Structure 1
C-alpha cells in the first residue's frame, strides 16, 4: 500500500512539473509573438505616414494645369507647331525678385515686389526652352538666354519656299551667300547622279555631274525616314542677329524643306545635324 501511494505521488509530481514547463514555453512564445506584432505595426505605421507626407508634398508642388497650358500654347505659337509635340520635362516653384519675372524687356519698368511663380523647362525631344511664369500662368516669359544651345526655328514664309522637287529627284541642297554671294544647287537623282550647277550661270560652265550607287541612294532615303527629316518641314534656323557673310543652306526632300546656316550648324537639333552630316558624306563620296 505504501509503495502504491509513493508511486502515485511521483506520477503527480511529474505531471505538475510537465505542466509548469509547458506553461513557461507558451508564455515565452506569446511574448515573442506580441513583440513581433508590435514591431510590424510600428513599421507599417511608419511607411503609411511617410507615404502620406510624400503624397502631400507632391500635391503641394504640382504644376497647375492652367500654367502648363499657358506655357505650351505660347511656345507652340512661337514655333508654329502643335502643342501636342511639346512636353514639360522639369518645373520648380520660384519666387521672382520683380514684376518682370527677372526677364525685363528693353526700357520696361519692373515693380520690385516679390512674385511667386514657376520655372518651367519644355522640350520637343530635340531642344529645350526655359520659361518664367507667375503663379497662375497669366504671365509667361521665355528665357532666351537659358534656352540657348539649341536654335529656335521660325516658319519659312510660303513665298520664300523653293519649288517642289521633280519626280526623279530624291534630295536637293541650295547654298547661297558667303563672301562670293553665289548660289549653287545640288540635286540627287534616283539613279545616283549628283548634279551641281550655279544658279544664274548663263553658260552653265560650272555644271558638274558625279555618281553614287543606287544602293547608297536607297540607304540615304531610309536614313531620312529614320531621322524624321519631315519633322523639320518648312522650318528655318536663322543666323544670330548681326551676323554677316554666312552661307545659307536650304535642304529639300519630298516631305518638305528646312533651312540653316554655316554659323549655327553646330546648334541644330541632333537629328537634323545627323542628316546634314549624312548628306555631306554622300556628296563628298560621289565620283
Structure 2
C-alpha cells in the first residue's frame, strides 16, 4: 500500500508521503476544541475528544474541496478529530479534518452529527407579545414565562453592574432582589459580546413555534435596540451566536463570570 501511495504522489508531481504519527500534537487538538467552541457557542471545558484517527486526504483541501479547481492534487496526510459534549441534553458530534502540520483545520459538516445545532425556522414576534421598553439604565433583560397561570420572572442587568430579579407577588406588587453586582469591566465585556455576536439582527424574531398543546417555557430577551423570544426546550436549535449570548448570560448570573475567549 505504501508503495502505491508513494507512486501516486510521484505521478502527481509531489513528494512521497512522510510517516504519519499515530496521534496529533496536543496543541492541534486544542485548536479543534477552540474552533468548535467558537463556532457552536459551546464551553471549551465541556468539549471532549471522542475519537482521533490518522487519515490520508485525497487532496490539499482535505477531501472537502469538491470540484474546486484550486485544490492541490496531492495526497495529504493528517487527522480526523471527532469532538463531543457529553453533558449536552442532545446528541451531537463535531468532526474536524486537519493536515499533518496543523496549518489547515476544516470542519466536516457532512461527517458531523448536527442535531444539536439545527437552526430553528423563526417567526415574527407578534405585536401583542412585545414586552415593555427596558427600564432606564437597563442594558439587558430576560423575561421568563413558565406557564400561563404563573406570573413571569424578570431578570435585568443595569449599567452599574447590578443583576436584579423581579417577581410579581399575589398581592399585585413586585418583589425585587439583587442577585449579584458585576464589575464595570464585565459589563463592558458583555455589551461587547452582544455587538460581536450581532444580537441586534435577531430583533423581532420569535423562535417559539405556534402550538395548540401545553405551553412551553419561554424567554423574551431584550436590549435597548432588540427583542427576541425563544423556547427553553429548543435552545439547542438556535443560531450559535444566540446560544453564545445565552450561555454568557447564564454564567453572569450563576458565577459572575463570562466564558473565556479561545
Structure 1 length as normaliser, TM-score?
0.45
Bigger radius of gyration among the two: 1
